[in-house]
């Protein structure tokens, strides 16, 4: 017998604890795919379960080395170039700041490169001139794709914005639409972590998504990078630009899932000040 909605709701706690069989798991996941409320409940149950694991044991010595070794096995030959080139392919001959050394407290890591699958996403795209959102590369850092369903978790991001607003070193960008009717505000910390407040934006239709792009001053000139596919609506979207100086933020409307190269005009744009 196919379980009804109430039966599936009753299963959410057990599902969150991995205490259902494979068939039930599949049914619940199908249910969750169309039910944001149920998804939010499962997230809450999992957070609670996390707290139950609030004790740990030191990970065995040497375990990190084995993980690092496994990364090595999967990595093709090191890809030369700055980190920005990994984020957004630029001219292959660019030179830039070296990748920063790992923190002293972290396990040591040999400088390796990326996996083959990733590099294929970032196939070479010629560096385009400055501010025009015409030649854009794509990074699949979809850090915020389901923010619309996660309002319950939005408090931490709101708090992050509040903190940045009180910090005199924070840079700000006011993104405006060309007709001036829409606005979104971004705050970027000195370490490159930023948050875009998009609560005032219109909700796009289900087949479209907002995508955020940054114009970055890198060693090879100005480049445009994708900072995230944000979904059809979002409250606060986090993003990070670690290399180069972020000059401008641009928001485009794209087909659902985002695009590697945008041909859309900027829906909103604003300079960092």
Region 124-163 residues binding another protein, contact defined as CB under 8 A: 139-147, 150, 152-157, 160
Is there binding between residue 71 and another protein (CB under 8 A)? yes
Partner residues linked to 238 by β-bridges: 195
Q: Report the residue number, 114 or 135, with the smaller CB distance to another protein.
A: 114
Total residues interacting with another protein, rule: CB under 8 A: 82
Is there binding between residue 181 and another protein (CB under 8 A)? no
- Residue 62 near residue 68, CB atoms below 8 Å: no
Is there binding between residue 113 and another protein (CB under 8 A)? yes
Between CA 226 and CA 107, with CA 98 as vertex, the angle to 5 degrees is 95
Is there binding between residue 14 and another protein (CB under 8 A)? yes
**Nearest Cα residue to 185 out of 114, 126, 251:** 251
Is there binding between residue 179 and another protein (CB under 8 A)? no
| C-alpha–C-alpha distance, residues 118 and 113, integer Å | 10
Q: CB under 8 A: which stretch of 53-61, 130-138, 249-257, 265-273 binds another protein?
A: 53-61
Smallest gap from residue 32 Cβ to another protein (A): 12
Is there binding between residue 96 and another protein (CB under 8 A)? no
The SS3 assignment for 54 reads: coil
Is there binding between residue 33 and another protein (CB under 8 A)? no
Region 208-237 residues binding another protein, contact defined as CB under 8 A: 236
Sign of the C-alpha dihedral computed for residues 32, 37, 42 and 47 taken in this order: positive
Smallest gap from residue 155 Cβ to another protein (A): 6
**Nearest Cα residue to 232 out of 263, 213, 211, 214:** 211
């Amino acid at each position: 017998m196919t379980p009804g909605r109430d039966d599936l709701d009753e299963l959410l706690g057990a599902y969150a604890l991995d205490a259902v069989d494979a068939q039930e798991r599949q049914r619940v996941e199908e249910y969750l795919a169309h039910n944001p409320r149920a998804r939010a409940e499962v997230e809450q149950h999992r957070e609670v379960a996390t707290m139950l694991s609030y004790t740990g044991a030191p990970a065995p010595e040497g375990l990190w080395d084995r993980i690092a070794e496994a990364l090595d096995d999967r990595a093709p030959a090191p890809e030369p170039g700055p980190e920005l080139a990994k984020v957004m392919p630029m001219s292959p001959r660019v030179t830039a700041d070296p990748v920063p050394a790992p923190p002293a407290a972290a396990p040591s890591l040999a400088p390796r490169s990326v996996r083959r699958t990733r590099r294929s996403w970032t196939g070479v795209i010629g560096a385009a001139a400055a501010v025009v959102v015409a030649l854009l590369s794509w990074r699949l850092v979809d850090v915020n794709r389901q923010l619309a369903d996660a309002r319950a978790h939005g408090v931490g991001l709101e708090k992050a914005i509040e903190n940045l607003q009180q910090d005199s070193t924070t840079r700000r960008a006011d993104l405006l639409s060309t007709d001036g009717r829409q606005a979104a505000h971004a705050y970027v910390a000195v370490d490159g972590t930023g948050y875009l407040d998009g609560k005032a934006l219109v909700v796009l239709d289900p087949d479209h998504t907002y995508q955020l792009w940054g114009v970055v001053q890198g060693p090879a000139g100005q480049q445009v990078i994708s900072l995230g596919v944000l979904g059809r609506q979002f409250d606060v979207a986090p993003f990070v630009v670690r290399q180069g100086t972020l000059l401008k933020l641009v928001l485009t409307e794209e087909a659902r899932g985002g695009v590697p190269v945008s041909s859309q005009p900027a829906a909103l744009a604003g300079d960092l000040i």
